[in-house]
Chains A and B, each alone.
Chain A
Amino acid sequence: MTAGYQIVVLGSVVPDPLQTLEPVATPQGPALKNEAMLPAVLDPWAAHALFEAANLAAKVPGSKVTLVSLGPKAKLQQVMMAVAQKVPLELVALDGPAGGFTDAHEVAVRLAAAVKALPGLDRGRLLLFGGWESASRGAGVTLQLVGERLEIHDQFQGVDQIAVQAGGALEILERVEGGKHQVSVVAGPPAVLGWATGSLPEPKNNPQIGMANMRQVMPALQRAPAAPVGTAGVEFLSVAVPKAQRETRIVKDASPDEIARELVEWISQD
Chain B
Amino acid sequence: MEPQVSPEAPQRQTMAVDVACVGFGPAAAGFLTTLARRLAATDLPALESAATPGAPLQVVCYERADDLGFGVSGVVTRGRGLRAAFPGLDPAQIPMAAPVREEKVLYLLDPVGASRRSATLRAADAALRALRAVLPVEAHALELPWTPAFLHKRDGFVFSMGQLMQWMGAQVMSTGAVQIWPGTPVAEALFEGSGVAGVRLLDQGVDRRGRPEGAYLPGLDVRAALTVVADGPVGAIGRQLDEVLGMPAGHARRDWAVGMKLVVDLPEDTPLRPGTVLHTFGFPEPEIFGFLYVHPDRVASVGIFVPSWFESPARTTYRYLQHYVQHPYLWRWLEGARLRSWGAKSILESGRRAEPLLAGDGFARIGEGSGSTNVLTSSGVDEAFTSGVLLGEAVIALAEGRRPFTRENLLASYAARRRASWIEAEGRVAERARDGFQRGVVSGLVGMALAGLTRGKLALGEEPPHPAEKLGSLEAFYEGKIPAEEIERIRRACAAQGVPLHDALMDRAGWPPIALDGKLLVTHQDALLVGGKVQAPPGYADHVTFARPELCRACRARACVEICSAEALRPGEDGVPTFDREKCVHCGACCWSCSQRLDGTDRVNLQLRAGTGGLHSAEN
Contacts and interface: CB of A to CB of B under 8 A. Distances in A.
A250 B524 CA distance: 11
A171 to B, nearest CB: 26
Given A18-B616, A39-B70, A211-B15, A82 B96 contact: no
Interface stretch (A104-112, A134-142, A199-207): A199-207
Contact of A207 (B66, B176, B181, B616): B181
Given A16-B533, A38-B618, A206-B217, A77 B170 contact: yes
B183 interface: yes
Contact of A246 (B163, B184, B530): B530
Contacts of A39: 67, 69-70, 616-618
A74 interface: yes
Nearest to A206: B217
A168 to B, nearest CB: 30
Contacts of B231: none
A207 B205 contact: no
B340 interface: yes
Q: 4 nearest interchain CB pairs?
A: A18-B533, A218-B176, A204-B204, A204-B217
A78 B523 CA distance: 32
Contacts of B181: 81, 85, 205, 207, 210
A212 to B, nearest CB: 10
Most buried by B among A78, A206, A208, A246: A78
Interface string B162-178: 01001001100110100
Contacts of B163: 37
Contact of B95 (A37, A82, A205, A248): A37
Contact of A218 (B67, B173, B201, B220): B173
Most buried by B among A37, A208, A210, A222: A37
Nearest to A79: B67
Contacts of A36: 95
B292 interface: no
B32 to A, nearest CB: 13
A78 B526 contact: no
A29 B176 CA distance: 33
A77 B180 CA distance: 11
Contacts of A246: 526, 529-530
A182 interface: no
A261 to B, nearest CB: 22
B192 to A, nearest CB: 21
Contacts of A218: 173, 176
B533 A250 contact: no
A37 B618 contact: yes
Given A204-B204, A204-B215, A77 B179 contact: no
B15 A19 contact: no
B526 A248 contact: yes
Contact of A208 (B13, B96, B174): B13
B15 A208 contact: yes
A248 B525 CA distance: 7
A62 interface: no
B539 interface: yes
Given A37-B618, A207-B60, 4 more contacts: A38-B618, A208-B13, A210-B179, A246-B526
A20 interface: yes
A205 B183 contact: yes
Interface of B: 13, 15, 60, 62, 66-70, 95-96, 160, 163, 166, 169-170, 173-174, 176, 179-184, 201, 204-205, 215, 217, 220, 222, 340, 523, 525-526, 529-530, 533, 535, 539, 616-619
A214 interface: yes
A214 B68 CA distance: 17
B179 A214 contact: yes
B539 A20 contact: no
A77 B529 CA distance: 26
Given A36-B95, A78-B170, A85 B15 contact: no
A80 B535 CA distance: 20
Nearest to A250: B525
6 contacts: A81-B180, A82-B66, A206-B220, A218-B176, A219-B176, A246-B526
Nearest to B184: A205
Interface string A181-192: 000000000000
Chain A contact surface mostly: loop
A134 to B, nearest CB: 21
Interface string A12-38: 000010111000000000000010111
Contacts of B618: 37-39
A81 B15 contact: no
A164 to B, nearest CB: 24
Contacts of B95: 34, 36-37
Given A211-B15, A250-B525, A81 B205 contact: no
B70 A207 contact: no
A222 B179 contact: no
A221 B176 CA distance: 9
Contacts of B68: 78, 81
A246 B222 CA distance: 43
B72 to A, nearest CB: 14
Given A211-B179, A248-B526, A77 B533 contact: no
Contacts of A16: 67, 533, 616
Contacts of B173: 77, 81, 218
A19 B533 contact: yes
Given A37-B619, A204-B205, A211-B60, A85 B215 contact: no
Contacts of B530: 20, 246
B202 to A, nearest CB: 9
A252 to B, nearest CB: 8
A24 to B, nearest CB: 11
A39 B285 CA distance: 36
Contacts of A210: 179, 181
B13 A205 contact: no
A82 B13 CA distance: 20
Interface in A203-257: 204-208, 210-211, 214, 218-219, 221-222, 246, 248-250
A26 to B, nearest CB: 13
Contacts of A207: 15, 60, 62, 181, 184, 201, 220, 222
Contact of A20 (B176, B215, B340): B340
Contacts of A85: 181, 183-184
A250 B66 CA distance: 23
A208 B221 CA distance: 11
A120 to B, nearest CB: 24
A25 B463 CA distance: 57
Contact of B182 (A37, A81, A214): A81
B518 to A, nearest CB: 9
A165 B68 CA distance: 43
A54 to B, nearest CB: 15
A82 B179 contact: no
Contacts of B60: 207, 211
Contacts of A20: 340, 530
A229 to B, nearest CB: 22
A200 to B, nearest CB: 11
Interface string A56-91: 000000000000000000100110011001000000
Contacts of B529: 246, 248
Nearest to B220: A207
Most buried by A among B66, B96, B205: B66
Most buried by A among B526, B533, B539: B533
Given A204-B205, A205-B184, A78 B15 contact: no
